[in-house]
């Protein structure tokens, strides 16, 4: 069949097979990419969730213990110091010695090591809350040591993989059979700060630190970013200096974040003397990092305001300032807020710059001011992931789940905000 004998229609028909094949191939590639991406996501989340969900449950021993007033040497009218310093640990040890009758010092030590070191503070908390309970018998869920916790959650069918001795296992099985040993929701994870003991370690310090740091970041970067965007878009004269400023701001958005940490170390800590490891200096460093994002998205939002609104305002006799603040800014604000939320979500997950300014320290206390030393959630995850203990592995994954939860919430809020406030004119 020669070309000359085919009409145009026939030539088009002849090419259809090849064109359809190309389009089908493209569609297949597209679907395959999306599916691959989703598969990776599923694997990632699956891995994190499988390791992390157990972190939200904690093994406890329900027991009835008498708050012996003579042993503790306190009563309902003792002052707070005496209540705090009473020997709760000793009381717990005496209670279990009586209950389980261990023979010999080695067995006694094994018995006591199964209860968490923090159990004493649990009792202390109960007494401080209600000193009238002294002398009474109370039921309390004592937190168990992380070895017991891991055994109960993961190793019960696998007795070889635990460090616990046979005697300890026999006691534990007795408690399991009687129903005294069980798991409950791990409130300690959310209430406590960091700790050497995994069963007492929590993310409260990290979350408070993250919150304070992000607060400082927002309070500094939002006004400065918005003002800079307005100035550059509306008021800056179009000369060489403005161009240089614009180019530099755009470049800063791509600078590796650890550089900001070095800057923070050199300038804020060494020159201005801000104390290390505080949300204040962390917030200052993260402000530098999120400013380019806010400025760039702010300028885009301002550019998107239609010029007809500006002309209407100017035509009425509004000054430039009035036009910008009464008309342009309210219309550009949703876009700016979206950009800010995205910038904050980025800052939430940043670790590298904060390491450089010292937020990597082992901080136990929950910070209450922006000048208290603290850590942030990503750094806490980093610190725990370094630890070889199994209990910390599951807590690392648990903390990652909490961090991911915050990020998803913030990004969803940004998307919803953008969709709701789009195109109001």
Residues forming contacts to other proteins in the complex (CB under 8 A) are 238, 306, 308-319, 322, 326-327, 331, 424-425
Distance of alpha carbon 312 from alpha carbon 247, whole angstroms: 32
Nearer of residues 153 and 310 to other proteins, judged by Cβ: 310
* Closest to other proteins by CB, 104 or 315: 315
- Rounded to the nearest whole angstrom, what is the least distance from the CB of residue 330 to other proteins in the complex? 8
What residues pair up with 380 in beta bridges, in sequence order?
Answer: none
- One-letter-per-residue 3-state SS of 98-159: HHHCCCHHHHHHHHHHHECCCHHHHHHHHHHHCHHHCCCEEEEEEEECHHHHHHHHHHCCCH
Shortest Å, Cβ 299 to other proteins: 18
For residues 47 and 311, which CB has a smaller minimum distance to other proteins in the complex? 311
> CA geometry: angle at 267 spanning 248 and 298, to 5°?
35
> Which of 4/239 has CB closer to other proteins?
239
Both tokens assigned to 184:
């409950």
Sign, CA torsion 185/188/189/190: positive
| Nearest-approach distance from CB 342 to other proteins, in angstroms | 24
Cα 99 to the center of its chain, rounded Å: 42
Given the complex with other proteins, which of 54 and 323 has the nearer CB atom? 323
Length of the chain: 425
Distance in Å, CB of 216 to other proteins, minimum: 34
Nearer residue to other proteins within complex by CB, 324 or 363: 324
**Minimal distance, residue 329 CB to other proteins, in Å:** 13
Q: Which residues contact 185 (CB under 8 A, 6 or more apart)?
A: 56, 57, 58
**Minimum distance between the CB of residue 313 and other proteins, rounded to whole angstroms?**
8
Is 399 within 8 Å of 381 (Cβ atoms)?
yes
């Amino acid at each position: 069949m020669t070309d000359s004998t085919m009409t145009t229609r026939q030539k088009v028909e002849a090419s259809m097979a090849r064109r359809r094949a190309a389009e089908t191939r493209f569609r297949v590639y597209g679907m395959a990419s999306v599916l691959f991406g989703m598969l990776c996501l599923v694997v990632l989340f699956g891995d994190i969730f499988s390791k992390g969900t157990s972190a939200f449950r904690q093994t406890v021993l329900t027991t009835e213990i008498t708050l012996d007033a003579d042993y503790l040497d306190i009563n309902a009218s003792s002052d707070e110091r005496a209540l705090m310093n009473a020997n709760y640990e000793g009381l717990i040890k005496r209670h279990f010695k009586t209950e389980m009758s261990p023979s010999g010092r080695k067995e006694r030590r094994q018995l006591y090591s199964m209860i968490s070191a923090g159990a004493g503070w649990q009792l202390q908390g109960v007494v401080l809350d209600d000193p009238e309970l002294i002398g009474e018998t109370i039921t309390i869920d004592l937190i168990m040591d992380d070895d017991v916790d891991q055994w109960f959650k993961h190793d019960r069918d696998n007795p070889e993989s635990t460090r616990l001795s046979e005697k300890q296992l026999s006691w534990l099985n007795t408690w399991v059979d009687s129903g005294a040993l069980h798991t409950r929701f791990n409130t300690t994870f959310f209430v406590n700060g960091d700790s050497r003991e995994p069963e007492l370690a929590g993310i409260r310090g990290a979350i408070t630190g993250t919150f304070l740091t992000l607060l400082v970041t927002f309070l500094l970067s939002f006004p400065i970013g918005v003002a800079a965007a307005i100035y550059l878009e509306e008021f800056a004269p179009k000369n060489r200096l403005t161009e240089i400023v614009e180019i530099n701001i755009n470049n800063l958005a791509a600078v590796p974040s650890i550089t900001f940490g070095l800057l923070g170390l050199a300038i804020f800590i060494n020159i201005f003397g801000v104390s290390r490891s505080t949300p204040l200096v962390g917030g200052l460093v993260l402000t530098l990092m999120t400013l380019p994002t806010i400025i760039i998205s702010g300028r885009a939002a301002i550019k998107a305001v239609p010029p007809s609104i500006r002309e209407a305002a100017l035509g009425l006799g509004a000054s430039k300032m009035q036009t910008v603040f009464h008309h342009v800014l309210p219309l550009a604000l949703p876009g700016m807020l979206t950009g800010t939320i995205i910038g904050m979500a980025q800052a939430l997950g940043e670790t590298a710059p904060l390491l450089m300014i010292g937020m990597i320290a082992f901080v136990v206390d929950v910070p209450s001011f922006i000048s208290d030393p603290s850590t942030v959630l990503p750094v806490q995850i980093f610190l725990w992931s370094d630890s070889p203990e199994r209990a910390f592995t599951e807590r690392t994954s648990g903390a990652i789940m909490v961090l991911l939860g915050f990020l998803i919430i913030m990004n969803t809020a940004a998307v919803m905000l953008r969709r709701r406030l789009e195109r109001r004119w």
